[in-house]
Chain A
Amino acid sequence: DADVTQTPRNRITKTGKRIMLECSQTKGHDRMYWYRQDPGLGLRLIYYSFDVKDINKGEISDGYSVSRQAQAKFSLSLESAIPNQTALYFCATSEYSGTSGLKPSNEQFFGPGTRLTVL
């Protein structure tokens, strides 16, 4: 089974609709991220969460909101979708050493992506 899952994998919606993209992970990681990928622009960070009570804006958070329902779940919402939010969206997780003293790997683990089209 995949460690990081995203639902839905594909979604077509209309301008003005509210959309929620969901991410779940079984890796036990504290840190979760939402990115969008656009051709020629690479991945850009939308929001990130270092634990359930810590949520931060990334470089392109306008028009988006997030919810960290549990350590394993991190949802991204588009309150009123617009066509320029058409993109490929990725969720990612990473490990935090916390007080364990272990050095984190810093590697991010990605879900398979959600392709969102806003008409």
Chain B
Amino acid sequence: AQSVTQLGSHVSVSEGALVLLRCNYSSSVPPYLFWYVQYPNQGLQLLLKYTSAATLVKGINGFEAEFKKSETSFHLTKPSAHMSDAAEYFCAVDSGGYQKVTFGTGTKLQVIP
């Protein structure tokens, strides 16, 4: 069984501040982990993914995430928020890489000018 928990359905940060979106996973086998972003009225697009290579993963638009097995976490960070980062972010897990993915409930990021 696999599952994902995203802490905080809404997160607000000031422009230029650190972005931290939390994700914890549960998986009985080594997982593949993903962060997707959804801009208003659009589908989801991949931000970054962990596939058992480097534990610190860099994605698009300055985002990165660190896989911590001991904490079963895969938190998403960005040093300095931009207004264009306002969107909904989804963490997802694929146990064993079988391409049957479970998504978290999402975190809406608001960036305040």
Contacts and interface: CB of A to CB of B under 8 A. Distances in A.
Interface of A: 4, 31, 35, 40-45, 48, 50, 90, 92, 94, 96, 104-108, 110-113
Interface of B: 6, 9, 32, 34, 36, 42-46, 49, 51, 90, 94, 97, 99-106
6 cross-chain pairs, A with B, having the tightest CB-CB distances, nearest first? A110-B43, A42-B105, A43-B103, A110-B44, A42-B103, A107-B46
Contacts of B105: 40-42
Contacts of B34: 106-107
13 contacts: A40-B9, A42-B6, A44-B103, A45-B100, A45-B101, A50-B99, A90-B43, A94-B99, A96-B99, A104-B99, A106-B99, A107-B34, A113-B43
A23 to B, nearest CB: 11
Contacts of A4: 43
Given A43-B90, A113-B43, A108 B101 contact: yes
B97 A104 contact: yes
Contacts, number: 53
A103 to B, nearest CB: 8
Nearest to A107: B46
B103 A107 contact: no
Given A43-B103, A108-B99, A112-B43, 4 more contacts: A90-B43, A94-B99, A106-B94, A106-B97
B90 A42 contact: yes
A108 B100 CA distance: 10
B42 A112 contact: yes
A106 B92 CA distance: 11
B65 to A, nearest CB: 15
Contacts of B42: 112-113
A61 B55 CA distance: 35
A106 B51 contact: yes
A107 B50 CA distance: 10
